[in-house]
Amino acid sequence: MQLIQEKVDSGDRNYKDFCLLYRTHSVSRSLLDQLTIHKIPFIKHGASQSFYEHSLIKPVLDHLRLVIEPFRLESLSNILPTMYIGRDDCISFIEREQWKYGEGRFPSLLHFLLLNPSLKPFQVKKVNERIDFIKFIKELEPKKALKEIIHGKGKYLEYLQSNDRSSFTMHKDIQEEMLEELMESATRFTDIPAYLQFIDEAIQGQKEMEALKTMPQKDAVSLMSIHNAKGLEFPCVFLLGASDGILPHTSSLKDANDRITETSEALEEERRLLYVAITRAKEELYISSPQFFRGKKLDISRFLYTVRKDLPEKTSTK
C-alpha cells in the first residue's frame, strides 16, 4: 500500500494503473481492509459483497453482536438456524409478543425466545446453552471468541459440516479457509466492540468504493481474482500470495509421493493461473510470497522456480 501511495504522490502513476491479483476471495479480505485503512480508492471486480457480509461469516459475527446488542433482532435471526430453529415462526413470535412485556423485563431476546410455546424441548435446551455461551465469550478477546464460536462450544463448523444446506454448498476446504481468515482478521483487536466497529467501517468503506464503478472517469486501484483478470492488462500488477498452499491452492496439493491424475490436472490448472497473472502486467510486476500465512510457515510457490528462467533480462527476482 505504501508503494502504491508513493508512486501516486510522486506523479509516476495514477491509482487506475495498479491491479492487485489474488488466488482466492478469502485472501482478498486483508487487501480490502488495508485499502480501506489507508484510504486508497479501489474497485473490487467480481463479487461485490463484503467478506464480512458473506452468508457463511455473518452468523459468526452475529454472536459477537449479541454480546454488545442483546436485543438486535437481525443478529438473533441469523443465529437461529445454528440452533436448528426456524426463523419465520420465532421472529413472528417476538414481533407479535414483545410489546406486551415492556422494556427491561428480559435481559436479551434469547431469554424472551424461551417463552415461545412452539419450541421443542431440544430447542429450548439449545437456546439456554446459547445464552450461557454468549455470556462466556463476552469476556474473551475477539480472536479467542471467534475460535470458540467456530471450533469450540459454539460448534459452528460442526453445524456447517453436518448439514446439507443449499446456502453452504461450497467445498469444505473453502469453508474452513474463510473461517480461518475471519479469525485472522481479529488478531490485532483486544475487545469485541472495537473489532465490530472496524468491521462496520470496512463494510461501509467497501460500499462507498462500489459507487466508483458507475463513475465515467474513475481513478482507483483494481482488485480482482486471477480468474476475473483474464483478458485484461494493467501498467503495474501486484500478484499476492504466490506460495504453496495459496497458489497452487491447498486443494490441488497432495503428498508428492502420492500423485494421481486428477491432482496433476489440478496442479496444471494452478500453473496456468500463475501464467495468466504474470501476463496481466504491461510494465511492472510485483510478486509477493508471504513466509507465514494464518500462523503457518509457507514455501515460495513451486511454480516460481520454473518461471524465473523465462523472465526478461531486466527483471529483478529479489
Per-position DSSP letters for 2-66, written without gaps between them: HHHHHHHHTTS--GGGEEEEESSHHHHHHHHHHHHHTT--EEE-S--S-GGGSTTTHHHHHHHHH
Specify whether 84 is located in the same domain as 44.
no
The answer to whether residue 289 is domain-embedded is yes
Residue type, 63: H
Q: Are 100 and 129 found together in one domain?
A: yes
In a domain, 108, yes or no: yes
CA-based diameter of the chain, in Å? 77
Under 8 Å between Cβ of 62 and 75: yes
**What count of Cα atoms within 13 Å lies in the side-chain half-sphere of residue 148?**
18
On whether residue 262 sits in a domain, the answer given is yes
Name the domain boundary from 152, 170, 191.
191
7 and 83 in a single domain? The answer is: no
Establish whether the linkage from the previous residue to 248 is cis, with ω within 30° of 0: yes
Domain membership flag for residue 318 = no
Q: What is the pLDDT of residue 316?
A: 47
Q: Is residue 81 part of a domain?
A: yes
Residue 294, Cβ neighbours under 10 Å: how many? 14
Q: Which residue is it, cell 527483471? A: 315
Identify the pLDDT of residue 256.
40
Q: Are residues 78 and 115 in the same domain?
A: yes
- Let me know if residue 282 belongs to a domain: yes
> Does this model's pTM top 0.85?
no
pLDDT digits 0-9 by tens, 127-168: 999 999 999 999 999 999 999 999 999 999 999 988 755 455
67-74: Cβ within 8 A, 24+ apart: 67/134, 67/137, 67/138, 67/145, 67/192, 68/192, 68/193, 68/196, 70/107, 70/108, 70/109, 70/110, 70/134, 71/108, 71/109, 72/109, 73/109
3-state secondary structure of 89: helix
| CA separation for the pair 32, 30 (Å, rounded) | 5
CB 171 within 8 A of CB 193: no
Mapped onto helix, strand or coil, the DSSP state of residue 108 is coil
Q: Is residue 317 part of a domain?
A: no
Q: Which residues of the chain have pLDDT under 50?
A: 166, 255-262, 313-318
User: Rounded distance, CA 66 to CA 83, Å?
Assistant: 15
User: What's the domain range around 42?
Assistant: 2-49+195-310
Residue 301: DSSP 8-state: P
CB 90 within 8 A of CB 104: no
Q: Could you tell me if 217 and 256 lie in one domain?
A: yes
d(CA 240, CA 286): 8
pLDDT of residue 168: 54
Residues 248, 162 share a domain: no
Q: Which residue, of 146, 171, 191, is where some domain finishes?
A: 191
Question: Domain boundary residue among 170, 191, 212?
Answer: 191
What CATH number has the domain bearing residue 268?
3.40.50.300
Residues in CB range of 148: below 8 A, 6 or more apart: 133, 136, 137, 140, 154
Instruction: Decide if 315 is inside a domain.
Output: no
Is 92 found in the same domain as 74?
yes
The gap between the terminal CA atoms of the chain, to the nearest Å, is 19
Domain count, the chain: 2
- Regarding whether 185 and 122 lie in a shared domain, the answer is yes
Closest by CA to 286, choosing from 211, 229, 236, 228, is: 236
- Based on the domain organization, do 19 and 72 belong to the same domain? no
Residue 228 CA: distances (Å) to CA of 217, 223, 246, 286: 21, 10, 17, 18
Q: What is the pLDDT of residue 258?
A: 46
CATH number at residue 144: 1.10.486
Please indicate, yes or no, whether residues 214 and 268 belong to a single structural domain of this protein. yes
How do residues 82-116 score in pLDDT, each as one tens digit? 999 999 999 999 999 888 776 678 899 999 999 99
Q: Provide the sign of the torsion angle of the four alpha carbons 99, 90, 53, 184, taken in this order.
A: positive
Calpha distance 88→20 (Å, rounded): 42
Distance CA 190, CA 298 (A): 27
Look up residue 164 and give its three cell numbers: 446439507
| Residue 304 · residue 242 · CB < 8 Å | yes
Same domain, 176 and 245: no
Region for 43 from its dihedrals, namely left if φ exceeds 0, alpha if ψ lies in -120 to 50, beta otherwise: beta
67 plus 119 within the same structural domain: yes
